[in-house]
Structure 1
């Protein structure tokens, strides 16, 4: 019985979730409260897309082990995303006061984390856990400056989200006309 439970647990952890927004779909616009370096501000997807692509990653809960690992990885890659003209932003249903601390400690003042009060945005992006609809699944989207979904990575394992979204942004950048 124990072996079956472990196998089932491993399968559930490694199996990708299903994202409803397919590549090419229009990304739902949103504006919400966010934190960067412990300070709050209003994050607007439309405004961020004016600067370049946006890597929007949903995560279940600040200060949990997997979410902290993922935040550290995004923090280390922020300069690479910025060099490609991309903005990374994390999103969960945590209260903004929690995210202010998370933006400093786990995100290392490198990128913003946004509060999804009421899980409104995660539901629009089909990024809610099916068993806990007020909690985000671990899904990363790359959104083009035109507001279209370019790439989706869906896995409860925090490993791979950063490297795969970075590869997608690099591919997008290669396809852009030279200026």
Structure 2
């Protein structure tokens, strides 16, 4: 049996660049209880408590104070009021440079939303391990409905599209609930 060269090339490319894994739309979001910071002040974050207020935008990023993560934090900070206006809680989680999340929340998140530590259990539960760097998270954004079901997932290392995608999902959810 002869395999077409184009098919071989596509297969080789897909093996060379593993796709980011993520929980699918409709899956139940695992509970999260972790240390988080907003405006430099540490507190305990509970996903279960946050979901009582409305949908939660949960975004994972590789590490505090890296270029892509800083750009993404700035964009989420600029949109924070829009998320709030639409009834959503916004939080970022990382496993990279967690000793600096309080500083990152103040400087790069501009006191607009919290960032927290992604524990190994959270990384595993949300399937967001970064293959290139052990113990870090990849870049994956979720919108979780108050019933705990995931209604939006975007998993790509490029930060472009995460803010707009999650905001659109929150607005669509709000509209459907009217």
Alignment of 1:131 with 2:98, yes or no, is: no
Displacement after TM superposition at 1:137 (Å): 0.3
Q: How does 1:142-161 map to 2 (within 5 A)?
A: 142-161=143-162
Match of 1:174, SS state, is helix
Displacement after TM superposition at 1:125 (Å): 0.2
Displacement after TM superposition at 1:130 (Å): 2.3
Q: What is residue 174 of structure 1 aligned with on the other side?
A: 175
Match of 1:61, SS state, is coil
Q: Deviations over 1:152-173 (max 9, x none)?
A: 0111111110001000101101
Q: What is residue 4 of structure 1 aligned with on the other side?
A: none
Q: Judging changes above 3 Å, is the alpha-carbon distance between structure 1 residues 17 and 162 closer, same or farther for their aligned structure 2 residues?
A: farther
Alignment of 1:82 with 2:84, yes or no, is: yes
Displacement after TM superposition at 1:96 (Å): 4.8
Q: Which has the larger radius of gyration?
A: 2
Match of 2:69, SS state, is helix
Q: How does 1:1-179 map to 2 (within 5 A)?
A: 17-94=19-96, 96-117=98-119, 119-177=120-178
Aligned-residue CA RMSD in angstroms? 1.8
The number of residues matched between the two structures is 164
Structure 1 stretches of 4+ moved >4 Å: none
Question: Which blocks of at least 5 consecutive residues in structure 2 are unaligned?
Answer: 1-12
Question: Which blocks of at least 5 consecutive residues in structure 1 are unaligned?
Answer: 1-10
CA distance in 1, matches of 2:150, 2:34: 20
TM-score calculated relative to the size of structure 2: 0.87
CA distance in 1, matches of 2:81, 2:26: 26
Q: Deviations over 1:19-39 (max 9, x none)?
A: 341100000001000000000
Displacement after TM superposition at 1:123 (Å): 1.4
Verify the 8 A CA contact 1:36 1:110 in the aligned structure 2: yes
Verify the 8 A CA contact 1:61 1:92 in the aligned structure 2: yes
Bigger shift: residues 15-24 or 35-44:
15-24
Match of 2:142, SS state, is strand
Q: Deviations over 1:123-168 (max 9, x none)?
A: 1100111233411000000000000000001111111100010001
Q: What is residue 5 of structure 2 aligned with on the other side?
A: none
